[in-house]
Amino acid sequence: MSDEEIILHFKSTDTRSYAFNLLVRKYQQKLYWLLRRMVVDHDDADDLLQNVWIKVWQNLENFKAESQLYTWLYRISVNEALSHLDKKKRRFFLPLGDVEAELGNKIDTGNTISGDELQIKLQKAILKLPEKQRVVFQLRYYDEMPYEQMSKVLDTSVGALKASYHHAAKKIEAFIVGTD
Amino acid sequence: MNQDKDIHDELQGIAPHLSRIEKVEPFEVPASYFEEFPARVRDIIALKEAKPETGWLGQWIPRYSYIAASLCFLLIVGGFLVVKNTGTPSAIVAASQQTKATPNDEYVIEHVDEDVLMEPLPAANQETQATKVKQETPAVKNHTSNVSEQYILENVEESTITEEL
């Protein structure tokens, strides 16, 4: 079922739950992985994913088809992840480096990450990026999102996003090559 | 994970080592997490939407309580302002009544020469009339009134008094 059809079903009270269930099943994995890569911890990602879907339930009725549903869902998720990291910094008066170190420790504990050494290095390199650059890199590298769509998600110009991705990829490359 | 050719080429141009790393989701997820998640979210939303049943009374009481509280506030403020405003004129009236000369005093002022009037009055009564009246206690007031009457009887001709009356 297309997103438009799901929205139509959602707007009818009889089929609302059915449409919502379809929507969750369709996008839960993509949104989960976006959140998980941002916050590393599964429980945090799970909490954020729940918040995202609660917001979708509360606001989908007023969703205007000016943007794609997929873009809107990503936008909500990115905002949730960034505000979670921001709260974490403010709650513990932590500088950005400490949050990055905390997330890096979670990667080091081993039982939360699968894959080989190179994958662990890659994740640590991604964590070294500034938060917004990290979002840009992940949307492009993992989600293979076109810049035009990313521009709508992040409310940033295509040129700025290209530059941001370029810098991010260069930094990660340097980290991987340097620590190899 | 599908490789978009343009995206891969772009990455190869920027970071050749990175482009050769296999793209996999790096984290582990608890077993059957994605199967159970939709039902869990539904339960959470249902719980959030299930508000405590208050009935028709419960729906109206809060609304009326806000109105009642607003009215009480307005009454208190209004009452305070009324008391404040009405208090000032009555005080002025009372003060003006206090300072108002009695009929006897008026008669003395009109018919008795000032020099004559000042001469026999005691030193305590040499203050201005207005100040004196303001500070006058009932006993002093009576005394002043008696002195005035006595003075009139002694110094004003009877025919003048009768004529005035």
Candidates B3, B14, B27, partner chain A, best to mutate (most A CBs within 10 A): B27
Residue A28 sits at the chain B interface (C-beta within 8 Å): yes
Sorted by where each begins, the domain ranges of chain B are 5-49, 53-100, 101-164
* Mean local confidence (pLDDT), A77-83: 94
Q: What is the mean pLDDT of chain A?
A: 86
Contact present, A4 and A67 (Cβ < 8 Å): no
Average pLDDT, chain B: 70
Within the 122-151 window of chain A, which residues sit less than 8 Å (CB to CB) from chain B? 122-123, 140-142, 144
Rounded distance, CA A112 to CA A109, Å? Answer: 7
User: Is the CB of residue A45 less than 8 Å from the CB of residue A70?
Assistant: no
Quote the Cα angle for A40-A43-A46, to 5°. Answer: 95
The CATH number that domain A3-179 falls under is: 1.10.1740.10
Lowest mean pLDDT among A113-127, A160-174, B91-105, B144-158: B91-105
A112 contact B CB<8A: yes
Evaluate if residue A10 carries a pLDDT over 60: yes
The pLDDT-based confidence of B142 (bands split at 50, 70, 90) is: low
pLDDT value of position B161: 61
Helix (H) or strand (E) segment spanning residue A88:
helix A69-91
pLDDT over threshold 70, residue A38: yes
pLDDT of residue B124: 46
A36 inside 8 A of chain B by CB: yes
A29 touches chain B (CB under 8 A): yes
ipTM of the complex, rounded to two decimals: 0.81
Per CB-CB distance under 8 Å, the chain B contacts of A32 are: 29, 34, 37
Facing A57 at nearest CB: one of B11, B18, B45: B45
User: For B29-70, what is each residue's pLDDT tens digit?
Assistant: 898 999 999 999 999 988 888 765 555 555 556 666 777 888
